[in-house]
Amino acid sequence: MENMTASKNVDRLAETTLKQLSGFKEVLKIHLRAVSEQRTKHPHGKAHAISEDALDILFKKSEEIRESGELLNFNIFSCAVDQIEKLLGKLRTPVQYRRTDIIGDLLTVLENLEHSIRS
């Protein structure tokens, strides 16, 4: 009976973590659309900046994902969240890289984490 309960808890935690990853991806996609729209409307104008508050929220979300991964005993999460945080740091002003590339890289890391949970 304990194994069944433990298995259900792991399944619930995995589902919660997948929802966290999905929510993180949706926030990034919103920013990606804003960056793309800014470039389309003003190709030579000021670049779209992601606010410090928004970045702080993303950093907080990344820590929640790290904690979930640790509870699931997925070592890959710690390395992936380190990578996520490094990429998020690149989005802080002044940005020296293309925001769309950084966000694309973030989405790839998150999709890989989703895949690792589902496998």
> Is the pLDDT confidence value at 7 over 60?
yes
CA distance 37 to 9: 42
Q: Which domain does 108 fall in, by range? A: 2-118
Tell me the per-residue pLDDT of 44-66, one tens digit each, with 9 for 90 and over. Answer: 777 767 888 989 999 999 999 88
Our count of domains for the chain comes to 1
Q: Three-class SS of residue 51? A: coil
Give the CATH number for residue 98.
1.20.120
Tell me the per-residue pLDDT of 68-79, one tens digit each, with 9 for 90 and over. Answer: 888 887 778 888
Q: How many CB atoms lie within 10 A of CB 103?
A: 23
Tell me the per-residue pLDDT of 12-32, one tens digit each, with 9 for 90 and over. Answer: 888 998 999 999 999 999 988
> Is the pLDDT confidence value at 1 over 60?
no
Say what the pTM is: 0.80
